[in-house]
Structure 1
Amino acid sequence: MFVDSHCHLDFPDLANNLDELLRNMIDNQVTHALCVSVNLTDFPRVLALAKAHDNLFASVGVHPDYENLDEPDARQLEQLAGHPKVIAIGETGLDYYRLKGDLEWQRERFRQHIRAARASNKPLIIHTRSAAEDTLRIMREEAADQIGGVMHCFTESWEVAQQAIEMNFYISFSGIVTFKNATALKDVARKTPLDRMLIETDSPYLAPVPYRGKLNQPAFVRHVAEEIARLRDTDLEAVATATTDNFFRLFKATRDKYHTIH
């Protein structure tokens, strides 16, 4: 069985077909999914999804791409994370690819999320793009290793992965690892220890081969696992078991309580 460790089922393209997506998960042995928050305005609908479906979980956080917001502070995030179906803080982090100029506000926002994670004892979901050095530096300065988490939709080097793993983080692979030109990332997937690996879709984005360019969905996460198994010359079951066990270990989620798919 598989777990999609990062998706956005509240986004309109997916939310409008939720029943079909949940059935597709069943058909592809995807038992659970984590619905990830990108801003606090839409967080209630993320939480509502998790509350309505036993096999869905939620996170709370503000994506680094969202500008000109009332900045969340650690206490506010900690309070919102109080619901038992909220199992992570994020997604948070740094993104120097889409935004330019003075991004100190982004770095401060990231710090607030790390502090909230430590206070709430819930792991971090970290987004980093064109900002690996500062991301790792702030993780160290804010003692992110004390709570751990996941480097989501990982696209950085093996050296960055090693440093994150040393700080008690998991490496999560998305559909990008199935892309023909993702040779460096495929190498990271070969080298990352299975006990430090997660899989995700980042739906509705980044659909894996053979669905590249189409709308992504949690059911497609099995294709990520299949590619990792191929790259490592191992059984698909080994990747499925490891990544599922890693998910429940990291997020301290009880799979028995949430086993039912409606």
Structure 2
Amino acid sequence: MNAKPRLLLDAHVHLQNESFGDDLDEVLCRAAEAGVRYLLCNGSSEEDWPSVLDLSQRYPAIIPSLGLHPWYMAQRSDRWLATLENLVRSVPCGVGEIGLDHWQTPRDDAAQEEVFAAQLNLARHLKRPATIHCLRAWGRLIEILDSQPPLPAGFLLHAYSGPAELIERLVERNAWFSFSANILHENHKRVRQTIACVPADRLMLESDAPFMPPPQDRCPDSFRRSGENIRNEPAILPLVLAEAARLRSQPPEELAAALSDNARRFLSVLIER
């Protein structure tokens, strides 16, 4: 029996961002050359949902996920949830980026939780994978997840920054954990330690492009720079994979095989195996 081909997923991108407006084809070519086969592109607001869907129609490698991020919920329309449901039903599509953010100020925690819970219900009802953003709200996230039925298609904790002690409990709720180029920064000590605690069958990698760039001295020459600012790209994933393997004391090929299997399982309702 032939082995399945390796499938490297960039588990979280924002390719609808205007910074990719004039060279997305080149960015995607560099991603493909780096071995990235699929990219889970997350919409964050009603404004960018159509752009994400348009990209997914134009580029087969882009898988759409649509949600209302806590940073943009104040601008939501009265029909935001109905619009979201109609769009998610219309195509193979995840639900996200959604979540809780207690770093942002000022904020409305009650409204955040109402919007978040509504989108969890949508993901559960439609059996779609969810992508969750969580900053400084891990205790409340656990309480909300524990108060609701499980999500049958699971959920991805994007750029996981929570404590290692929560990992087992979150896995019991069908969680997956994604890590970005943050692990390439020596001063991000906690996240560099935490990645070693995630079960291999629950791990993902992401670029969060154009955000969360690598350190200046580890940035590929092809990435755009403006002074000290770097536009991140999915092509960063081989560097993230190599560092993840080193931090986990795991052979890179073994980790790559696990990530490939994880991508197939997590995306099983959105792509053909």
Per the TM superposition, whether the score is higher than 0.5 is yes
Whether the aligned pair in 2 keeps the contact of 1:199 and 1:224 (CA below 8 Å) is yes
Of 45-54 and 137-146, the range deviating more from structure 2 = 137-146
Does residue 7 (structure 1) correspond to residue 23 (structure 2)? The answer is no
Whether the aligned pair in 2 keeps the contact of 1:165 and 1:171 (CA below 8 Å) is no
Whether the aligned pair in 2 keeps the contact of 1:8 and 1:202 (CA below 8 Å) is yes
Counterparts of 1:81 and 1:145, CA distance in 2: 16
Q: CA RMSD in A?
A: 1.8
Of 208-217 and 1-10, the range deviating more from structure 2 = 208-217
Tell me by how many angstroms 1:38 deviates: 0.4
Does residue 54 (structure 1) correspond to residue 70 (structure 2)? The answer is no
* Higher Rg: 2
Of 74-83 and 131-140, the range deviating more from structure 2 = 74-83
Counterparts of 1:40 and 1:104, CA distance in 2: 20
Does residue 81 (structure 1) correspond to residue 88 (structure 2)? The answer is yes
Does residue 182 (structure 1) correspond to residue 199 (structure 2)? The answer is no
Count how many residue pairs are aligned between Structure 1 and Structure 2.
Answer: 255
Tell me the residue number matched to 2:271: 254
User: What does the per-residue CA deviation read over 1:15-70, in whole Å, with 9 as the maximum and x for residues that have no partner?
Assistant: 32101101101221111111111012211110111111111110011111112322
Tell me the residue number matched to 2:142: 136
Tell me the residue number matched to 1:69: 76
Does residue 227 (structure 1) correspond to residue 243 (structure 2)? The answer is yes
Q: Judging changes above 3 Å, is the alpha-carbon distance between structure 1 residues 110 and 144 closer, same or farther for their aligned structure 2 residues? A: farther
Q: Which 4+ runs in 1 deviate beyond 6 A?
A: none
Gaps of 5+ in 1: 257-262
Tell me the residue number matched to 1:39: 45
Whether the aligned pair in 1 keeps the contact of 2:207 and 2:236 (CA below 8 Å) is yes
Local SS of the residue matching 2:75: coil
Tell me the residue number matched to 1:206: 212
Whether the aligned pair in 1 keeps the contact of 2:123 and 2:151 (CA below 8 Å) is no
Tell me by how many angstroms 1:146 deviates: 3.8
Counterparts of 1:226 and 1:141, CA distance in 2: 38
Tell me the residue number matched to 2:223: none
Local SS of the residue matching 1:82: helix
Name which of 122, 128, 148 aligns with 1:122: 128
Counterparts of 1:240 and 1:83, CA distance in 2: 32
Tell me by how many angstroms 1:76 deviates: 3.8
Does residue 154 (structure 1) correspond to residue 160 (structure 2)? The answer is yes
Tell me the residue number matched to 2:197: 191
Q: Judging changes above 3 Å, is the alpha-carbon distance between structure 1 residues 255 and 213 closer, same or farther for their aligned structure 2 residues? A: farther
Does residue 29 (structure 1) correspond to residue 35 (structure 2)? The answer is yes
Equivalent position amino acid for 1:254 in 2: I
**Percent of matched pairs sharing the same residue:** 28
Of 44-53 and 144-153, the range deviating more from structure 2 = 144-153
Gaps of 5+ in 2: 1-5, 220-227
Q: Judging changes above 3 Å, is the alpha-carbon distance between structure 1 residues 71 and 103 closer, same or farther for their aligned structure 2 residues? A: farther
Of 30-39 and 140-149, the range deviating more from structure 2 = 140-149
Counterparts of 1:248 and 1:84, CA distance in 2: 18
Whether the aligned pair in 2 keeps the contact of 1:89 and 1:122 (CA below 8 Å) is yes
Of 230-239 and 28-37, the range deviating more from structure 2 = 230-239
Counterparts of 2:111 and 2:66, CA distance in 1: 19
Counterparts of 1:133 and 1:190, CA distance in 2: 22
